[in-house]
């Protein structure tokens, strides 16, 4: 009977999936995919159309869970997440070659990469209006998923998880509240996983100066000056946003402290690569940093300026001989090839793809600066949550997450001690320590990923795959994934 049901599910999948969206011949492939993938559009509002790229599971698409991935910004494309982080298709050779990511999340799950909101990537608004706020995006993502189910009805009853990073710390909890209340359309909504998410703007600001100080980036003289002048001698309890605006002399010295990592990669303090710091690939990181720093109208003065994206030209001397980390424009060049756009069913009328949209970012209205209410609502509905952080990211830092979770006043499972270690492939050797983890009563987990920055599936891909597999399957995070 079981084999019959599985066979029936697979037949249903073939019959239900939209043939017009099937990607038959992706240019540049250096391997033969053992899974199907689809690219097309879903309607999110009367004039809003979101582009999706759906990769079926390599293992068993007929029974494996369904996962949504959202990049943040606000205004950045989830195709960046697909090609540069957790998707199966990674690009090299200046956008000419596509190779298999051996740690792709669709190894064990069916993954939807949704470009949201309209104006991001290949998504568009038919009337040209891309102004949006947090609640609009949540509602439109919900609508987009409903329309996606119209195209793929066989997935409607599948276990469903929503995941993402960065401003996904706003996108995912606000969407999660809607999904948790819509039992008719999402009967098996099971979990939310947020990576390096901006779940509390105040805590992110309040923890940044101590984080810089203890990483040796801020001199003791400046640290003590902020502490004395702005924080009544206690920087740990200081309301940085308030004193920045209202205490004479604080704006200048806080700006100085917040600029401590500007000559480093604030997304990964210990990352390095032999590339030009003025290269166009720095655009995405500067965009997200600018959005996170200014969305609550704080510190506009020191937000970094955007560089204009450009394509790699013949003058960029033998970029194919550079290490892959230095080939910064692979994604941009690849997705703007005419043959790639045709294969992905992208209308020729749409402009060139960019990783992040200035138009969306500049017209985006942030409503929420803290996700406490949304997280409590999701947990109360019995939906499991995972918050994970690369521990050397300073843009959305792990201390912010710890403070935010502490404020929820949930009971920590286990005796009070240092955070428990989790290991890659269950190994106990020091070299395979993947990070730390802590679990709370009510279905909430917090993980750090050792040595990773803001983009965990990119910086620590094998650990990220093990982490998400064990979260979905509710296993110990040190459990090795199936071979």
pLDDT tens across 41-55, in order? Answer: 999 999 999 999 999
- pTM attached to this predicted model: 0.90
Query: With the C-alpha atoms ordered 56, 60, 66, 69, is the resulting torsion angle positive or negative?
Result: negative
Annotated active-site residue 166? The verdict is yes
166, 180, 200, 478: the active-site residue: 166
Residue 386: asked if its preceding bond is cis (omega within 30°), the reply is no
Superfamily covering domain 201-296: Alpha/Beta hydrolase fold, catalytic domain (3.40.50.1820)
| First and final C-alpha spacing in the chain | 27
Candidates 143, 19, 57; CA nearest to 465 is: 57
pLDDT tens-digit series, residues 135-164: 999 999 999 999 999 999 999 999 999 999
Contact 79, 91 (CB under 8 A): no
The whole-angstrom distance between residue 55's C-alpha and the CA centroid of its chain comes to: 17
pLDDT at 9 (0 to 100): 44
Query: Residue 407 pLDDT more than 80?
Result: yes
**CA–CA separation, 475 vs 33, rounded Å?**
28
Q: Phi and psi (nearest 5°) for 338? A: -60, -40
Q: What is the mean pLDDT of the chain?
A: 88
pLDDT at 311 (0 to 100): 36
Contacts of 204 (CB under 8 A, 6+ apart): 198, 292, 396, 397, 400
**Residues constituting the chain:** 483
H-run or E-run covering 50: strand 48-55
Average pLDDT value for residue range 114-126: 98
Instruction: Please count the other Cβ atoms lying within 10 Å of the Cβ belonging to residue 413.
Output: 13
Annotated active-site residue 437? The verdict is no
pLDDT tens-digit series, residues 310-346: 333 334 444 555 666 666 789 999 999 999 999 999 9
357, 454, 459, 478: the active-site residue: 454
**CA–CA separation, 126 vs 139, rounded Å?**
18
Average pLDDT value for residue range 270-279: 62
Confidence of residue 262 (pLDDT cuts 50, 70, 90): confident
User: Which tops the pLDDT comparison, 37 or 282?
Assistant: 37
pLDDT at 329 (0 to 100): 87
CATH number belonging to domain 16-200+329-482: 3.40.50.1820
pLDDT at 475 (0 to 100): 97
pLDDT at 306 (0 to 100): 31
| Residue 356 φ/ψ region, left for φ over 0, alpha for ψ in the -120 to 50 degree band, beta for the rest | beta
Contacts of 11 (CB under 8 A, 6+ apart): none
Query: With the C-alpha atoms ordered 270, 271, 276, 279, is the resulting torsion angle positive or negative?
Result: negative
Burial track 299-334 (b if 16+ CB lie within 10 A, e otherwise):
beeebeeeeebeebeeebeebeebeeeebbbbbbbb
Structure tokens at 180: 């948790």
**Strand pairing report for 37-45 and 48-55:** antiparallel
Contact 288, 304 (CB under 8 A): no
Directed axis angle between helix 201-214 and helix 250-258, to 10°?
Answer: 70
Candidates 433, 395, 378, 355; CA nearest to 75 is: 355
pLDDT at 275 (0 to 100): 54
pLDDT at 428 (0 to 100): 63
Contact 29, 98 (CB under 8 A): yes
Annotated active-site residue 51? The verdict is no
**CA–CA separation, 307 vs 182, rounded Å?**
42
Comparing 274-278, 287-291, 443-447, 457-461, the range with the smallest average pLDDT is 274-278
Structure tokens at 96: 């000419």
C-alpha separations of 68 from 305, 377, 433 in Å: 31, 20, 28
393, 445, 459, 478: the active-site residue: 393
**CA–CA separation, 178 vs 176, rounded Å?**
5
pLDDT tens-digit series, residues 72-110: 999 999 999 999 999 999 999 999 999 999 999 999 999
pLDDT tens-digit series, residues 290-310: 666 655 444 433 333 332 333
């Amino acid at each position: 009977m079981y084999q019959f049901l599985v066979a029936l599910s697979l037949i249903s999948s073939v019959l239900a999936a939209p043939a017009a969206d099937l990607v038959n011949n992706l240019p540049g492939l250096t391997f033969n995919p053992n899974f199907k993938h689809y690219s097309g559009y879903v309607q999110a509002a009367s004039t809003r159309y979101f582009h999706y790229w759906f990769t079926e599971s390599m293992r068993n698409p007929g029974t494996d869970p369904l996962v949504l991935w959202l990049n943040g910004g606000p205004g950045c494309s989830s195709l960046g997440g697909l090609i540069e982080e957790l998707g199966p298709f990674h690009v090299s050779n200046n956008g000419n070659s596509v190779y298999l990511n051996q740690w792709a999340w669709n190894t064990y799950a069916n993954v939807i990469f949704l470009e949201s909101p309209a104006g991001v990537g290949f998504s568009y608004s038919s009337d040209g209006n891309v102004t949006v706020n947090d609640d609009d995006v949540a509602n439109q993502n919900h609508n987009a998923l409903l329309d996606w189910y119209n195209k793929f009805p066989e997935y409607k009853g599948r276990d469903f998880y929503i995941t993402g990073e960065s401003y996904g710390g706003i996108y995912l909890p606000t969407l999660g509240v809607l999904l948790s209340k819509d039992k008719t359309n999402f009967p098996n909504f099971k979990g939310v996983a947020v990576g390096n998410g901006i779940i509390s703007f105040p805590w992110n600001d309040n923890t940044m100066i101590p984080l810089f100080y203890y990483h040796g980036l801020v001199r003791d003289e400046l640290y003590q000056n902020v502490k004395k002048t702005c924080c009544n001698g206690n920087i740990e309890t200081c309301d940085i946003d308030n004193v920045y605006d209202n205490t004479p002399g604080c704006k200048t010295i806080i700006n100085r402290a917040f600029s401590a990592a500007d000559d480093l990669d604030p997304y990964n303090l210990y990352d390095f690569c032999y590339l030009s710091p003025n290269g166009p690939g720095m655009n995405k990181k500067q965009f997200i940093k600018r959005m996170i720093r200014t969305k609550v109208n704080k510190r506009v003065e020191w937000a970094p300026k955007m560089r204009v994206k450009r394509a790699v030209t013949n003058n960029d001397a033998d970029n194919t001989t550079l290490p892959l980390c230095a080939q910064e424009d692979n994604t941009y060049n690849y997705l703007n090839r005419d043959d790639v756009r045709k294969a992905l069913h992208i209308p020729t009328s749409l402009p060139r793809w960019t990783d992040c949209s200035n138009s969306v970012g500049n017209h985006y209205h942030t409503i929420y600066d803290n996700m406490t209410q949304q997280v409590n609502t999701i947990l109360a509905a019995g939906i499991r949550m995972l918050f994970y952080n690369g521990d050397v990211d300073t843009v959305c830092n792990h201390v912010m997450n710890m403070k935010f979770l502490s404020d929820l006043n949930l009971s920590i499972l286990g005796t009070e001690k240092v955070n428990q270690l989790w290991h890659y492939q269950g190994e106990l050797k020091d070299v395979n320590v993947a990070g730390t983890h802590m679990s709370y009563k009510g279905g909430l987990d917090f993980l750090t990923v050792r040595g990773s920055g803001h983009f965990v599936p990119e910086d620590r891909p094998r650990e990220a795959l093990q982490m998400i597999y064990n979260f979905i399957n509710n296993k110990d995070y040190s459990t090795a994934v199936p071979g």
